[in-house]
Structure 1
Amino acid sequence: MTTSLKETVGRYGIWSAELRSEDPERRGELDEAAAELEELGYGALWLGGNSTADHAAPLIGATRRIVVGTSIQNVWQQGAARTAASFAEVETAHPRRFALGLGVSHGPLVEGYSRPYTAMTGYLDELDKAGVPAGRRVLAALGPKMLRLSRDRAAGAVPYLGTPEHTARAREILGEAPLLAPEFKVVLEADPARARETARAYLARYLGLPNYTDNFLRLGFSEDDIAGGGSDRLVDAVFAWGDEDRIRERVTAFHEAGADHVALQVVTPATGDTLPRQEWRRLAALLG
């Protein structure tokens, strides 16, 4: 019997845009970091940005068991035929080690953005024809329609920038069987002012994207919460910060709301492509 994606990713993973670097001079550093994350007990690595199987393949090759997924691959920028071919290459070399995470991105970021739900269903049709199994793909779903599509035509959903309340709603739509693996941001800082400053600086990039802001409004946040860089209420909902007990409690809240797996993104004041390896170690230790 084939092991499902839900059974292989474990309870915790790491979400990282830095691990998808295309700089060949960093290949050794990235592979070493991936191997350490596996040893630390994380069950999956989720590559941020418009990542593809080509970004995942070297990390899979540098590790023994950890699942590597895209979070997400932009369906507007990567053709389905090439996606299917890349999937087949990785799957042949490393069976059941790759998860194809797909998303429709955001209107302000994509020229000609139109009818995203239709674009996703058409993309999935092409993947079906090319033999990419539904059980190895997940969707970056926030709203009810995309969550239902994640249930019906994928292995589940990988929502980004959500809350435990969103996770509970998503689980209700998905039902029990599909994978629900929300991303959640962590600032390993106990001082409220410093933690919120770091969080707010990172959150700013998302507050002009309607897919996220519409989701916040559905969750009961107001326009005032979204304005001005985000209210403390909003920041505290979408980031974990504080002492170890508080961070552990915030992560646990996602599991209690119905998440199978939480993709943890460490956010620091550092800029650039620096890997937060010390923070990943601290996070692994506090999660046990």
Structure 2
Amino acid sequence: MPAVQDQVAPPMRLEAHDAPYHIGAVTLRVRDLAKLTAFYRDAIGLKLLREGPGLAELGAGTTVLVRLKAGAAEPASAAGLFHLAIQLPSRRDLADWLRHAAGAGIRLEGASDHLVSEALYLSDPEGNGIEIYRDRKRSEWPRRPDGGIAMATERLDLDRLIAEARAGRYGGMPDGTGMGHIHLRVGDTAAAEAFYRDLLGFELMVRYPGASFLASGGYHHHIAGNIWGSRGAGRRGAGEAGLDSFEVVARDAEDFSAMRERILAAGGDETDGTPSVADPWGNRLVLAG
């Protein structure tokens, strides 16, 4: 009889991607391309998928999650990226990454249980914020009395988490890893809601003091904006260090068309068939399908 081949289960679909729109690749403008490329490869655990003059693309599997572009101008303004958030498929994957970080001496800046997710926080060598997290299942997300999603910031027990890690050498972020959300520094949360909710159609999910969380398809948040260090900030300058753009990925052709219309109505443009628009602070959203 022929040998029976082991069946490898496909990666579990991320909660963040179970929506009409989700966040795709985040592009950063950087000052030291070689240093940042090495950081996202060796410290974060992404694969270097493509590189060329002034550009590096890193991701998981064949999916690009972070693009690095050389030639950033200084100084960076108050608005821009608060953090990009890489979502791992499971709690064990998060534990594996934490074990890798501890062994490599990677300094964490925070660790939180948000009730809907568990998250680790750090920054890259040029100060771009990074969240690495895993979601609980939607059926486990707590709800407020009005039916909305309840979120909080509680202490994450790192000892319990790391105890779930697998032994052996860290092999990098697994297939199925994706960009979960993007968190922006804005000048005004009401203006952020007016742009991302009223013009682009994202749902307002949660308000924190000084922050608004918006999403597609009932997710806890795909896009957030806060004024914790940027209240009253104006528009970013051309070529600033930090966030260059982020992708919003449409689920299908109908969703792509609907968002394209919203982007153009919001004052965006379309170059080579790619619709894009900048928010009031110059943070650029690019539609992908």
Please give the range of the TM-score, normalised by the shorter of the 2 chains.
0.3 to 0.5
How does the TM-score come out when normalised to structure 2?
0.32
How does the TM-score come out when normalised to structure 1?
0.32
Q: Which has the higher strand share?
A: 2
Whichever of the two has the greater Rg, that structure is 2
